[in-house]
Every structure is written in structure tokens, then in C-alpha cells.
Amino acid sequence: MIRRAGFDALLALCAGVALAFFALPIVALFTQVPLSRVPDLLGDRAVRDAIVVTLRTNAIANVLILALGTPTAYLLATRRFRGRSVLITLVELPLVLPPAVAGIALLAAFGRGGLFGGALASGGIVLPFTQWAVVLAVTFVAAPFYLRQAIAAFSAVDPLLPDAARTLGASPARTFWRISLPLAAGGLAAGWVLAFARGVGEFGATIVFAGSVRGQTQTLTLAIYDQLEANFDVAIALGILLVLLSATVLLCFKLLSTWRSSNSTSPSPFARTPSASA
């Protein structure tokens, strides 16, 4: 009993230190500026510009992620072919790349002297240090969060259901829209929430590839960096805004995950009950 009590005390001590480490910076953030001042600080012109740029670029990036990522995830989840594991590794690679490396890679690909930059420039398309550069940076770093969840969601669909639909004459496209996509919707939504949160918080790749031009490429996270010297209170207010947004996103993800778990463990509506079979 004494040994167990000592071990439990050690666990409690370690947990207390860890939780305090995570909680103290958040508490400090909310106590540096009176909360009553936060709305006024967020009304600053630089903040409004950053919010507009963030919403616009993330909206476009999320459309690209959903439109291209969903069929890609479906292909990787439902088909087995040589090189599949390599493609999945390629999809997941941006998750572990340092953000600055992601930005340099985008410059190497789409910059004026990059792999495709010259061809784009000759066609009158210049991507670096424009809002499209922000869109590409957000898409590059955020899409893997959606793709990983989407691949897992499509893989979790019982293959007997699409096979049954095909047997009954449904086309592959109809099977995808009417069977696989609705059944995987919870996982897709959870993945999109994570991708959205990652996109809003993107910093490193954006500042390298798109720069930080107010009203053009300066997002909320870049505005925090810019306001550290210009107006620290505004930087704190922006931090509070992003903490609240992150907490909301995390709560949505947990609710979606709980909903998926409850759906996967609930009995099938087509299952025969004892009373029905009697």
C-alpha cells in the first residue's frame, strides 16, 4: 500500500507539473490585457486586414483541399497498387517538414527561378508574395491533415456495402456518392476541421513563400509577429482570438469523433430484433 501511494503521488506530481506547464501560458495570455479591451484592440485596421486575408485565403485553400483531397483519399483507401505506400508517404511528408522548408520548397517549385516558375512567369503568372502564394502555402501544409483522416474514414467503410451496390447495378461514381461518401462523412468532417485549424495557424511556409504584406499576404499569425513591436496589446488580442478559435475547432473535432464512435458502435437499423424474428 505504501509503495502504491508513493507511486500515485509521483504520478500526480508529474501530471501537475505537465498541466501547469500547458495552462500557465494560456492563463498569462488572458491576463495581460483586460478582456474588455480585446474587442477594441481587434478593431484595429491592421487586424481587420489580417482577418480578411486569412478568411479569403483559407476559404480558397479549403475548397481545393476538399475538392482534390477527397477523391485522392478515396483512391488511396480503396485501391491496392504498386507504389501506394510511397504515395501515402508523399501525402504525409508535409506533416513532418519544418515550416520554413515547406516555404523554401514552394519557392523552389513556383518561384521565378524555380522548377515551374519560369514557365508560369512567361505566361504572366507570378505566384510568390501574392495571395495565391498564401493559398498554396496553406494548402500544402494543411491538406495532409485532411487526407490522413479521409483515408482512414474511407478505409473504415465496410467494403461489402459498396460491393452490394455495384452488384445491384450502381456505377462506381454513384456508389461513391450514395454509399462511401455518406458513410465516411464523419471522418471527412473531422479531417476538415483539423485542416482548417492548421491552415489558420500557418506561419513559416507563408512568410517564406508569400511574405507579410499588410492587406495582401499578412494573415493573423503574421500580424501577431508584426504587432509584437508595433503594439504588443494588439498582438495579445490576436493571440486570444486564435486561442478561442483553436479551442472551438478542438471541441468540434472531439464532438465529431464522439459522433463517429457512437455511430460505429450503434446497432444497424436493419438488424433484426428478437421480437421481430419471433
Residue 221 per-residue DSSP state: H
Cell of 200: 489558420
Residues 66-76 as b/e (b if ≥16 CB within 10 A, e otherwise) read beebbebbbeb
pLDDT at residue 109, rounded to an integer: 93
DSSP notation for 25-60? HHHHHHHHS-GGGHHHHHTSHHHHHHHHHHHHHHHH
pLDDT in tens, 157-199: 888 888 888 888 888 888 898 889 999 988 899 899 999 999 9
User: What domains appear along the chain, each with residue ranges and CATH number?
Assistant: 30-261 (1.10.3720.10)
What is the signed CA dihedral for 169, 172, 176, 180, rounded to 10 degrees? Answer: 70
The predicted pLDDT at position 102 comes to 94
What pLDDT does 268 receive?
A: 44
- The DSSP symbol for 19 reads H
- Which positions of the chain have pLDDT values less than 70? 259-278
> Rg of the chain's alpha carbons, rounded to an integer?
24
- Name, in order, each residue with C-beta under 8 angstroms of 193's C-beta and a sequence gap of 6 or more: 249, 252, 253, 256
Q: What are phi and psi of 130, to 5 degrees?
A: -130, 175
pTM: 0.84
Q: Which of 152, 128, 84 is nearest to 216 (CA)?
A: 128
Distance (Å) of CA 154 to CA 87, 90, 141, 144, 262:
16, 19, 22, 15, 17
Note the Cα 12 to chain centre separation in Å: 33
d(CA 42, CA 54): 14
H helix or E strand, kind and range, residue 155 = helix 131-155
Hey, CA dihedral for 264, 270, 273, 277, is it positive or negative? negative
How far is residue 192's CA from residue 214's CA, in Å, rounded to a whole number? 27
**Rounded Cα gap, residues 29 and 44, in angstroms:** 19
